């Protein structure tokens, strides 16, 4: 008799092992699929436009400055344009269809951060959005007012 003859698996143990492996593989797949679907690419307007067709349908967090005079409200849907901070000629239309109301800092020239997907018609459809307001000093500089440290000349 050899040492391995008595070590064979019983049918009940084999079923348990196969069942355990199937459960572990199923959970690993669900974890990977959930991670993949929640992955978001943070891009500026210029970066998204440069990626071309690769951006279509991909989850993106788009960052850009709201073009003055472009905000249009139609019920809960808000449509506006954002441009790239470094190249103002690169512009994308954003359609916000989220459930939450937009915050008070959303206005012309604000930096918008919109999460959504780029559609084939070139419109970025967003379901979540926030806006950052420029600092006090940036606004004053844009208005042509010179500011020194601590307001001293």
Position 123 scores a pLDDT of: 93
Closest CA to 96 of 121, 65, 133, 71: 71
- Domain range summary for the chain, segments of one domain joined by +: 9-37, 40-140
Tokens 């067709």: give the residue.
Answer: 53
pTM: 0.63
pLDDT at 124: 93
The neighbour count for residue 63, using CB atoms within 10 Å, is: 19
CA-CA distance, 30 to 94, in Å (whole number)? Answer: 32
Q: If you classify domain 40-140 with CATH, what class do you get?
A: mainly beta
**Residue 111 bridge partners (DSSP):** 65, 132
Which pLDDT score is estimated for 150?
47
Q: Name the band, by pLDDT with cuts 50, 70 and 90, for residue 108.
A: confident
Binned at pLDDT 50, 70 and 90, residue 96 comes out as very high
């Amino acid at each position: 008799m050899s040492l391995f003859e008595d070590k064979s698996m019983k049918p009940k143990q084999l079923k348990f092992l196969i069942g355990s492996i199937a459960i572990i593989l199923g959970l690993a797949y669900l974890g990977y699929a959930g991670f993949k679907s929640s992955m978001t690419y943070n891009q500026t307007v210029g970066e998204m436009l440069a990626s071309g067709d690769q951006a279509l349908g991909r989850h993106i967090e788009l960052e850009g400055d709201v073009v003055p005079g472009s905000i249009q409200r139609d019920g809960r849907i808000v449509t506006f344009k954002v441009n790239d901070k470094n190249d103002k000629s690169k512009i994308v239309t954003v359609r916000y269809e989220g459930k939450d109301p937009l915050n008070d800092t959303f206005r012309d020239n604000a930096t918008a951060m919109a999460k959504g997907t780029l559609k084939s018609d070139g419109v970025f459809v967003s379901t979540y959005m926030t806006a950052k307001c420029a600092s006090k000093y940036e606004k004053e500089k844009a208005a042509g007012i010179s500011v020194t440290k601590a307001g001293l000349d």
